[in-house]
């Protein structure tokens, strides 16, 4: 199992479209993937779960993956956060 904590830097945080992108990406991996935000831990493959986090800009979020492709999963998801979900340039 691996973990990585990063800061949310896109303005809108995990809003609907970003959450949709994120859950879509998470679903492309075999590993179990979770997001930890403050005290909440949700399945990153569930759009509904991600939305309930209400994760906003400037806060840390932890990506946790467990499985065959855990390394790649964490790396790709972290990248998506760092690229601000490709929505701002």
Partner 1 sequence: MKQLKGKPVSAGIIIGQALVYNSHKQIILKEKIPKEAVETEIDRFNNSVKFTKAQLKKIYTNLLKTMGKESALIIETQYLLVKEGNLVNDIRNIIINECTKAEWAIKEIETKYVEIFRKIPDLTFRERGNDISDVMVRLIHNLKSNKVITNPDIDNVILVADDIPPSIAANLMSQGKILGLVFNEGGETAHTVILARTLEIPTILNAETATEVITNDDILVVDGLNGEVTINPTKSFLTKTLIKKEKYQDHKEKLKQVMKLPDITRDNHPFHLLGNIELAFESDILKSYGAKGIGLFRTEFLFMDQDIAQSSEQQYLIYKNIAQKFYPEPVVIRTFDVGRDKASEFIQKEVEHNPALGTMAVRLFLKERDLFKKQITAILRANETGNIKILFPMVTEIEEIYTIKTLLRQCREDLMKEKKFHGKDVKFGIMIEIPAVVKLIKYLKDDVDFFSIGTNDLMQYLLAVDRNNSSVSYLSSPFHPAVIEILFEILEESTRIGKEVTVCGEMAGKTFTALMLLGMGYTRFSMNPLAITEIKRIFTRIHFSYVKKVVKQLLKMNSKSEIEEYLIETLLKKYPDIFIKPPEF
Torsion, Cα 67 2 22 39, to 10 degrees, reads 120
Catalytic status, residue 38: no
Shortest Å distance, C-beta 33 to partner 1: 14
Stretch that binds partner 1, among 2-10, 46-54, 64-72, 73-81 (CB under 8 A): 46-54
Q: What is the DSSP letter of 37?
A: E
Interacting residue with partner 1 among 6, 12, 36, 78 (CB under 8 A):
12
Number of residues located near partner 1, criterion CB under 8 A: 19
Q: Directed axis angle between helix 16-27 and helix 70-82, to 10°?
A: 160
Q: What residues are labeled active site? A: 15
């Amino acid at each position: 199992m691996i973990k990585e904590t990063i800061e949310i830097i896109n303005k809108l945080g995990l809003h609907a479209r970003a959450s949709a992108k994120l859950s879509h990406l998470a679903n492309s991996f075999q590993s179990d993937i979770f997001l930890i935000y403050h005290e909440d831990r949700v399945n990153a493959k569930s759009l509904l779960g991600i939305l309930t986090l209400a994760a906003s800009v400037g806060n840390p979020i932890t990506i946790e993956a467990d499985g065959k492709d855990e390394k790649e999963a964490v790396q790709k998801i972290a990248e998506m956060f760092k690229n601000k979900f490709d929505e701002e340039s």
